[in-house]
Structure 1
Amino acid sequence: MLLDLIHQPEDLKRFSPDQLEQLAAEIRQFLVEKLSVTGGHLAPNLGVVELTIALHYLFNSPQDKFIFDVGHQSYVHKILTGRKDRFDTLRKYKGLCGFVKRSESKHDVWEAGHSSTSLSAAMGMATARDLKGDNNRVVAIIGDGALTGGMALEALNHIGHEKRNLMVILNDNEMSIAPNVGALHNYLGKIRSDKHYVKAKEEVEHLIKKIPAIGGTLAKTVEKLKDSLKYLLVSGVLFEELGYTYLGPIDGHNLPLMLETLRQADSITGPVLVHVITTKGKGYSPAEEDSHTWHGISPYKIESGQVLKTAGPPMYTEVFGNTLIELAKKDPRITAITPAMPGGSGLLKFAQQFPDRMFDVGIAEQHAATFSAALASEGMKPVFAVYSTFLQRAYDQVVHDICRANLNVIFAIDRAGFVGPDGETHQGVYDIAYLRSIPNMVLMMPKDENELRHMMRTAVDYNDGPIAIRYPRINGLGVSMDEPMTPLPIGSWEVLRQGDAAAILAMGPMLPVALEAAELMSKEGQQVRVINARFIKPMDEAMLLQLAKEDLPIITLEEGSQQGGFGSAVLEYYSNQNLYGMRVKIIGIPDYFVEHGSVKEQRQEVGLTSERLVTELQSLVPRKRQRA
């Protein structure tokens, strides 16, 4: 196999163009086989095989900088840069990362798990190159979805203004390409990149302007005619108006054409945009037919495409989606907003039932937040469904447009807590810290899927400002569902287990851990109180005062940042009440980025376990007994 001969990008350059076609087929087979075991982003990577081969064949990584937007489409890049032997560890604990990672390889020059960053990074690297007097290439590879992000559009404008040598490859897997249109654009691309044409064009324009009296007018007429032809024939006119030389659209699976076009692009001075049309899931029929499902996939059977999922209770995401439909049937004010994650956020069924009340705004979290604010200002009940890690991108809008105006926006914060194989760029562990500090915000987390439903009822009925529900990327506990849903008193906690030795304050998936630790302590004769601190803000101050009166040592347990999180809020409360003698131990996620692995492994690494809790309780409880 040719793939066995690839250890570094230099090995690729010894192949003939015909061999590259064979290599592309081998890489696809490799990806389908490996990801059937590990899971991962299959469809995006099958779509960029030829593109990635062409880049490494023509250019020289890492001297030439390849900047992958988001980075989940970098598996082929990893294969070609010496990491194919580690693919059995993909997305596993201490294994190969599912995204580009600088510490993993010198060929990974930029890392990101959020979209729309590549163009800004490319502009920065091109500027640094020019300031240092270097001459390496800078190539940004960005998808059509990521290009909708505001940050990408800002950078697109800046690059066009600065006119630095920089290549942008627009990987478009949504557009179809007709053969005749493709041929026309290939021809126009050759004309635009021809240096003789560019020089002749400049000379003619200069000559026309020298004609006495009519030169200026004639030049403007010619320019108008040229623009008319461009608008008639060239789909990339927007990019050319922004200052780019536009090449394409071209078939991204035609390797000879890819090589020829990239050579043309490399010969152009200034920013150039190559528009490449690809098919997500290319070469594996289940992924081609349903690229949405196969964007990020669990292990599967290669022959049938059957996903190997264990049966169990529904995931919180599914419960959220079904409950929102139930509520929306009775309340026409409810609308759903998502930044390009209708499937991941559980809103596909909602979109089918309420197409006029479902808004997928694309990769535009800032717009989604302010759009939700405006809907709320007009009496609607917008539900902004967003992953915790992506809500970070709209922080200013949450503060300025929603909370400051005290608008009735409902935040449905999915993937709160550890997210397993997606790793550090996607961990939803900072939202408690960054939301609880904002005035007017209410923040809650359910102990199970039944309480999630009650919290959704609470949120819809709440009319005093923004309210957020955070829930994890896991299956529910399989509890029965109450009918009807009833609103919870804002700021109320509940005692799940009585005890007089110590108290554990926990929420969400940390409650089973707390209950297990309490059970272990009971075997030692110590009864530990377990409290469902379901409202993170406002907290149940009456219960906190009661714990102080009983002089109970407290452990706060959260799958969130220890800095500025729920435990910090408890300490702040006791400090404000001048209750300085309270013994509060905070257990949360330490001050570093936790990498990919299973959720169980991530919790084990940071000590969110019943064993750790027991150890901490044992150190706290004897102190209370001695004082007594």
Structure 2
Amino acid sequence: MYIEKIDSPKDVKRLSVGQLNGLAGEIRQALLAKLSAHGGHIGPNLGMVEAAIALHYVFDSPKDKMVYDVSHQSYVHKMLTGRNAAFLDPARYDEVSGYTNPLESEHDFFTVGHTSTSVSLACGLAKARDLKGDAENIIAVIGDGSLSGGEAYEGLSNAGEMGTNLIVVVNDNEMSIAENHGGLYQNLKALRDSDGKAECNFFRALGLDYLYVRDGNDVAALIEVFNRVKNTPRPTVVHIHTLKGRGYALAEADRERFHWGMPFDLATGAPKSEAGAAEDYGDLTGRFLLERMAKDPTLVAITSGTPAVMGFTPERRKQAGRQFVDVGIAEEHAVALASGIAANGGRPVYGVYSTFIQRCYDQLSQDLCINGNPAVIPVFMGTIAGMNDVTHLGFFDIPLISNIPNMVYLAPTCKEEYFAMLGWAIRQREYPVAVRVPGATVVESGRNFDTDYSELNRYRLTRRGDTVAVVALGSFYALGEAVTDKLRADAGIDATLINPRYITGVDEQMLDALKADHRIVVTLEDGVLDGGFGEKIARYYGDSDMRVLNYGVRKEFADRYAIGELLEKNRLTDAQIVEDIRFLLH
């Protein structure tokens, strides 16, 4: 065994090329064992095995600095830099993040989980190196769709005029999460087809030197090219053609499905959990939109490299035809595109994960909301119950979106209300509308909901009581039900329960009416408190005698948390909330 003896990159350098190939085979076996049991990014890492080995064989990390884009393709890098136990010992699988993390190792320079950033970050490292008069190599590893993001273009443009050592390894596996989209990828294909000799070369046009490696899974070929560019005085692109999912036939055959996955059966590829068979808001949304596309040729679904967010499988994408657009991993463009479509009479629906909506604040404000164009933005996984890596948190979208003028941000409580709101948002032509998809799992209420939300900021009173009013937003409506039930059972208080529906505004009429027979208003939101929904309510009552308790999560970059622990830490259980209410009443 080679892998068990790798404690640092120095151990990699002691191996022969033949032994490095043996190491690559062992790494793949370890990756598949962990990923099938634990879940994670499958295809990106299987395709990067030889490149990561060659990088550490040639360069001298951590003196030479490597920046992995997205960094979900950095598992092998971690295995070669003192963290192999987290991939070999099942009891230690959770010791490392799925992304680079400077707290884990001196070989990681940034915590990175969003895409298209590596070249810009590497430019910064190179500039500081030159200012200090140092001489280490700076390497950015980019790929897996990252080149479609605007920051990647900005970074490459800057790199092209730096006139200094900066090596950009373009991992071209012919894929993003799904297939690639964008004109740049036509040039990458031309370069592959010509063995790197095509006259049209995007990278050379930006002032970068360029080398091509036809087989980016050939350790010897990679070592030869990396040695050629080591210590180069010029910004240089090394374009390597790799196979996403290499070494696992099922992942090679279905690269989209095996980009990332929950635990799966290694022999069949089937998920080990039956959770995948349950209803999913993405799948339901895709079905909903396709039905309406058949009736309205101006309706178009937009994704920024994550078609599964709205349930657009390859089959559904084919069925939608030109009414489906994947812009690549380019959230800024997606919002501006949606605004343009809406301005010219189309009906755009841009589906996006909460964590990625952060990437396009300026476009939401400037290109969409200032112009008041009626684009529709379903925001998925806006919840503490969604992704929990520090780079992919889904609880910052409420302050971000709800405080932009002209935006209407809706918070449905369940499946039925979600589709009632989404249907209205598509039909109406007055406002940009975002809809916060209610949580990570589908909740059915069996209730009927309004189909018209054009009278803005009108909350829905669902239980009329007195003394205490619980205003439970969106996916925390069930928590509001639990709190009011517990207040009745434990304290004999028949509390009022309100579904506010609108994140972006305050129902002044209803809030004023509560003053007559209520002493406390409690707000519940599945997101960060600072700048959030509850603070709007607290501010409204600021000059009155009403006491307001706001519940949500504190402003912090929580990482790989257990949901139950996070809830207790933020006093978000029904028992804790009722305890706080009873204390305030006495």
Q: State the TM-score, normalizing by the size of structure 2.
A: 0.92
Distance 1:361 1:422 in 2: 26
Whole-angstrom distance in 2 between the partners of 1:170 and 1:419? 34
**Is 1:275 aligned to 2:239, yes or no?**
yes
Partner of 1:14: 14
Alignment counterpart, residue 295 of structure 2, candidates 330, 346, 350 = 330
Partner of 1:562: 529
For 1:99-248, what aligned pairs fall within 5 Å after superposition? 99-143=99-143, 145-174=145-174, 185=195, 233-234=197-198, 237-248=201-212
Partners of 2:309 and 2:351 within 8 A in 1: no
Counterpart secondary structure, 2:435: strand
**Residue 46 (structure 1) shift:** 0.5
Q: Please state how far the C-alpha of 1:350 moved relative to its aligned partner.
A: 4.7
Match of 1:340 in 2: 305
Tell me what 1:230 maps to. none
Q: Secondary structure at the match of 1:457?
A: helix
Equivalent position to 1:257, from 200, 217, 221: 221
2:327 to 361, 372, 375: 361
Is 1:572 the counterpart of 2:539? The answer is yes
Separation in structure 2 between the aligned mates of residue 183 and residue 412 of structure 1, nearest angstrom: 39
User: 1:558 is matched by which residue type in structure 2?
Assistant: E
| Counterpart check, 1:42 vs 2:7 | no
Pick aligned residue for 1:423 from 389, 394, 397 = 389
2:423 to 429, 448, 457: 457
Instruction: Spell out, residue by residue over 1:52-86, the C-alpha distance to the aligned partner (whole angstroms, 9 max, x if none).
Output: 01111111211111100011111111111112223
Instruction: State the shift of 1:580 in Å.
Output: 2.7
Secondary structure of 2:493 counterpart: coil
Amino acid at match of 1:266: K
Question: In the alignment, is residue 596 of structure 1 matched against residue 563 of structure 2?
Answer: no
Counterpart of 1:205 in structure 2 is: none
Bigger Rg, structure 1 or 2: 1
Deviation, structure 1 residue 485: 8.3
Q: Which amino acid aligns with 1:442?
A: V
Q: Deviations over 1:381-434 (max 9, x none)?
A: 111111122111111111111111111111111111225455121112122112
CA distance in 2, matches of 1:528, 1:82: 56
Matched residues in 1 for 2:116 and 2:192: separation?
A: 27
Q: Secondary structure at the match of 1:162?
A: coil
Confirm whether residue 301 of structure 1 aligns to residue 265 of structure 2: yes
Partner of 1:436: 402
C-alpha offsets along residues 225-247 of structure 1, whole Å, 9 cap, x if unaligned?
A: xxxxxxxx336732123222111
- Aligned partners of 1:605 and 1:11: how far apart in 2? 43
Amino acid at match of 2:501: R
User: Tell me, what secondary structure is at the counterpart of 1:505?
Assistant: strand
Name the SS of the counterpart of 2:583 in structure 1: helix
SS for the counterpart of 2:515 is helix
Q: Following TM superposition, by how much is the alpha carbon of 1:473 offset from its aligned partner in structure 2, in angstroms?
A: 5.2
Distance 2:518 2:573 in 1: 25
> What is residue 550 of structure 2 aligned with on the other side?
586
> Gapped runs of 5+ residues in structure 1?
189-232, 623-628
- After TM superposition, give the deviation of residue 18 of structure 1 in Å: 0.7
Counterpart residue number, 1:621: 585
Q: CA deviation at 1:140?
A: 0.2
- Structure 1 residue matching 2:579: 3-state secondary structure: helix
Tell me the alpha carbon deviations over residues 91-125 of structure 1, each in whole angstroms, 9 at most, x when there is no partner.
Answer: 85xx4211111212111112211101100001000
User: What is the rounded CA distance, in whole Å, between the counterparts of 1:456 and 1:91 in structure 2?
Assistant: 40
Distance (whole Å) between structure 2 residues aligned to residue 608 and residue 452 of structure 1? 24
1:120-150 deviations in Å (ceiling 9; x for gaps)? 0010000101111111110000005111111
Deviation at 1:603, TM superposition (A): 3.1
Per-residue CA deviations over 1:2-23 (Å, capped at 9, x if unaligned) read: 1110122222121111111011
Compared CA separation, residues 89 and 134, structure 1 to 2 (3 A)? farther
CA pair 465-350 structure 1, distance change in 2 beyond 3 A: farther
Equivalent-residue separation in structure 2 for 1:403 and 1:183 (angstroms): 44
Equivalence for 1:202: none
Deviations 1:295-329 (A, max 9, x none): 11001111111112324641222222222223333
- Given candidates 317, 323, 331, the residue that maps to 2:282 is 317
Contact residue 59 and residue 230 of structure 2 kept, 8 A: no
Contact 1:501–1:621 (Cα < 8 Å) also in 2: no
Cα 1:601–1:37 change in 2 (3 A) is: farther
* Cα gap change, 1:89 to 1:515, in 2 (>3 Å): farther
The answer to whether the 8 A contact 2:170-2:240 is kept is yes
Query: Identity of counterpart residues, as a percentage?
Result: 37
Give SS of 2:440's match: coil
Query: Counterpart in 1 of 2:250?
Result: 286
Q: 1:472 to 1:28 in 2, by over 3 A?
A: farther
**1:374 paired residue number:** 340
Q: Is the contact between residue 505 and residue 533 of structure 1 (CA under 8 Å) also seen in structure 2?
A: yes
Task: Measure, in 2, the Cα distance between the counterparts of 1:555 and 1:593.
Answer: 25
State whether residues 420 and 598 of structure 1, in contact with CA within 8 Å, keep that contact through their aligned partners in structure 2. Answer: no
> Do 1:392 and 1:431's aligned partners in 2 also have CA atoms closer than 8 Å?
yes
Aligned to 1:549: 516
Q: CA deviation at 1:182?
A: 7.5
Task: Report the CA distance between 1:265 and its aligned residue.
Answer: 1.5
1:514/1:147 Cα in 2 relative to 1: closer, same or farther (>3 Å)?
same
1:439-463 deviation digits (Å, cap 9, x = unpaired) = 1111111111111110111212322
8 Å CA contact retained: 2:467, 2:518:
no
Residue 394 of structure 1, aligned match among 351, 360, 378: 360
Q: Is the 8 A contact 1:38 1:89 kept in 2?
A: no
Letter in 2 for 1:317: G
Give secondary structure in 2 for the equivalent of 1:555: strand
Do the aligned partners of residues 442 and 619 (structure 1) sit closer, same or farther apart at CA in structure 2, a change above 3 Å counting? same
Query: Helix, strand or coil for the counterpart of 2:541?
Result: helix
Counterpart code for 2:279: P
Query: Which structure has greater helix proportion?
Result: 1
Letter in 1 for 2:209: T
Aligned to 1:58: 58
Q: Which moved more, 1:271-280 or 1:493-502?
A: 493-502
Is the Cα–Cα contact under 8 Å of residues 43 and 246 in structure 2 kept in the other structure? yes
Whether the aligned pair in 1 keeps the contact of 2:414 and 2:438 (CA below 8 Å) is no
How many Å separate the matches in 2 of 1:90 and 1:375?
49
